Amino acid sequence: MTDKGTLDRQLVLEMVRVTEAAAIAAAQWRGLGREKEADQAAVETMRAAFNKLYIDGTVVIGEGERDDAPMLFIGEKVGLGGVAVDIALDPLEGTGLTARWAPDSMAVLAIAEKGNLLNAPDVYMDKIAIGGGYPQGWWIWIKARRLM
């Protein structure tokens, strides 16, 4: 983190590498009809990548109880120690898409300074991660406009 409350450029690039590694691991299972294996490859690879970084990371939105996740679950600590961050992740969003070799699956990751990500319950919901400087509740207005 920098003095201005923004993420360090190198840390941001490391997060790109983490998501890229998970996506590449999942891609090895494209079109094979093996959702669990694709997800497991992405999860294991993402966790291994996190555990090479000098961060004190806490997963606040993760694999969850629904997935019976052995790793990257809510509350799990990752990293070698360092800057304290909260992490929201989904190593493979679209396991079925990957298994069918369909488009639009992705690896998802957001980080913020510790205490700045919502520690959400394990439910499906619309989520958005943005930088600071936006008025509180602006996204509710945008969502309402879409429904009109």
Which SS3 state, helix, strand or coil, does residue 39 take? helix
Quote the pLDDT of residue 63. Answer: 82
Give, in order, the Cα–Cα distances in Å from 53 to each of 57, 59, 75, 79, 118: 9, 14, 18, 5, 23
DSSP class of 112? E
Q: Where are the domains of the chain?
A: 9-147
Higher pLDDT, 127 or 114: 114
H or E element, residue 93: strand 83-93
Neighbouring C-beta atoms of residue 84, cutoff 10 Å: 14
**Does residue 2 have a pLDDT over 60?**
no
φ/ψ of residue 15, rounded to 5: -65, -35
Q: Which fold has domain 9-147?
A: Fructose-1,6-Bisphosphatase; Chain A, domain 1 (3.30.540)
The model's pTM is 0.81
Tokens of 56: 């004190």
Among 11, 74, 71, 78, smallest CA distance to 51 is for 78
Quote the pLDDT of residue 129. Answer: 65
Over the stretch 47-91, which tens digit does the pLDDT of each residue have? 999 999 999 999 999 886 666 667 999 899 999 999 999 999 999
DSSP class of 37? H
Assign residue 137 a region: left if phi > 0, alpha if psi is -120 to 50, beta otherwise? left
